[in-house]
A and B are shown apart, each in its own frame.
Chain A
Amino acid sequence: MKKLIITSALAFICVTAVIAQKNVFGVDWAINFPNNNGYLTKTSYAGGKIDYRHFFKENWSFGLALDWASYEQYMPRQTFQKADGSGAVTSDFDAVAYQVPFTATLHYYFKKSKMFRPYAGIAAGGQYLEQDLYYNVYVSSDNNWGFVARPEIGVLINPNNKYWGFNVGAYYSYATNKTDLIKSNSFNNFGISIGVVFGE
């Protein structure tokens, strides 16, 4: 069901972007740096973004964005003592997370200089997060939805005013996904994105 919703949303974004005017449609590769109190510290290079923006004023756009990122980190065998001293667990783990935020976006564009058009904005919406802990021959899994807020900055690069260009961005994502696996109430990450844009 979730895949169907995501696929439908993608189809809507793709089709709308291509047929409409004053619209920008982008596909990005995303690199994400998790920031979660020591759990999952390894950088993810397996991420991306599909981004649609509609300019309702010359310097303002709103839109929709679908991001995804896949994290994985091996944690060597170690002993975790419970905080109250009543117990402990020893194992090695392979920690995996799959993050899919679906957001509405609002961007402001600074003055254009030749081919560069810097912008700042905010994305907010829902985030699906799946977390798995693999250990020995077992796996413990948890998945849920949370609220995500993501301030963003970036620059649209539009060489020769063609209908296509590049988009380079950076952001910080804060999400309220709770995970009992690691007693965590949030999932946060920095990220940078590099991609191509099509549109006016």
Chain B
Amino acid sequence: MKKRYFLLTFCLVAFFACRKIPDTSQLSVSFVVQTSKDPNANFSNYKTYYISDTIALKTTDPTDTLWTDADAKQLVDAVKSNMSARGYTMVTSPHSTPDLGLGLTAIKDLNVGVVYPGWWYGYWGGCYWGYCGYPPYYPWYGGGVVYSIPTGTIILDMIDLKNASANTKLTEIWGSVMSGGLGNTADDISLGVEAIDQAFTQSPYVQTH
């Protein structure tokens, strides 16, 4: 009888002792950067763009709608410098008929799980500045594209304004979802800037020629 219990104990210890606990300490804190594009878009057809100096903000506080401080400006400036490096010219007003409209959205202190492209679209007031009345359109959506949007995410959208009227829709020709715990550490903003740079780096087709 003793032998039986000994063996049973041995079996159980052997089985449950052999599952490793993952060592995630070596994972980097850099943002996870996802990008998607309209397969039919020709990025050299666009020359000018507009981006606001404010970031649309989604948090647990419903009154948080805009992020306007110096940190926000750093992120917007990162987009501007990348767009400039790719040959695009910034126009100073959304009413100056830019070819492209860019927007940044930040998801902080809120875990929304898996969402579909477009979920965050309303955070510019339901339309892109003066371009109201056109529904958003995500050309890559339909093939099972879903994003997991955890808290601490920055979203960058690039919308075709040049053809919005002709298409009667606001086509998002390129977008990036960058996730990394935004709002948790002092380094977040520099990590966010690095993520925006990476979004452009992994999308070499975003250029005027």
Contacts and interface: CB of A to CB of B under 8 A. Distances in A.
A87 B18 contact: no
A4 to B, nearest CB: 12
A48 interface: yes
Interface in B1-24: 3-4, 7-8, 10-12, 14-15, 18-20, 22-24
Interface in A143-165: none
A38 interface: no
A53 to B, nearest CB: 15
B20 A74 contact: no
Interface residues of A, number: 46
A58 interface: no
B82 interface: no
Contacts of A6: 15
B19 A136 contact: no
Contact of B8 (A14, A93, A132): A14
Specify the main secondary structure of chain A where it touches its partner. Answer: strand
A56 interface: no
Contacts of B8: 10-11, 14-15
Given A72-B20, A140-B148, A89 B32 contact: yes
Tell which of B10, B14, B150 has the most Cβ of chain A within 10 Å.
B14
A79 interface: yes
A186 B24 CA distance: 25
Interface in A104-129: none
B33 A89 contact: yes
Contacts of A136: 27-32, 179-181
A27 B10 contact: yes
A5 interface: no
Contacts of B12: 7, 10
A91 B32 contact: yes
Interface string A12-50: 011101110000010100000000000000000011101
B123 interface: no
Given A10-B15, A50-B11, A132-B22, 12 more contacts: A18-B3, A66-B15, A72-B22, A86-B140, A87-B37, A88-B35, A88-B202, A89-B33, A98-B19, A136-B179, A137-B150, A138-B179
Which 5 A-B residue pairs are closest in the complex by CB-CB distance?
Answer: A87-B36, A91-B32, A70-B20, A90-B33, A88-B202
10 contacts: A14-B7, A15-B8, A50-B11, A66-B15, A79-B202, A89-B34, A94-B23, A98-B19, A136-B28, A138-B32
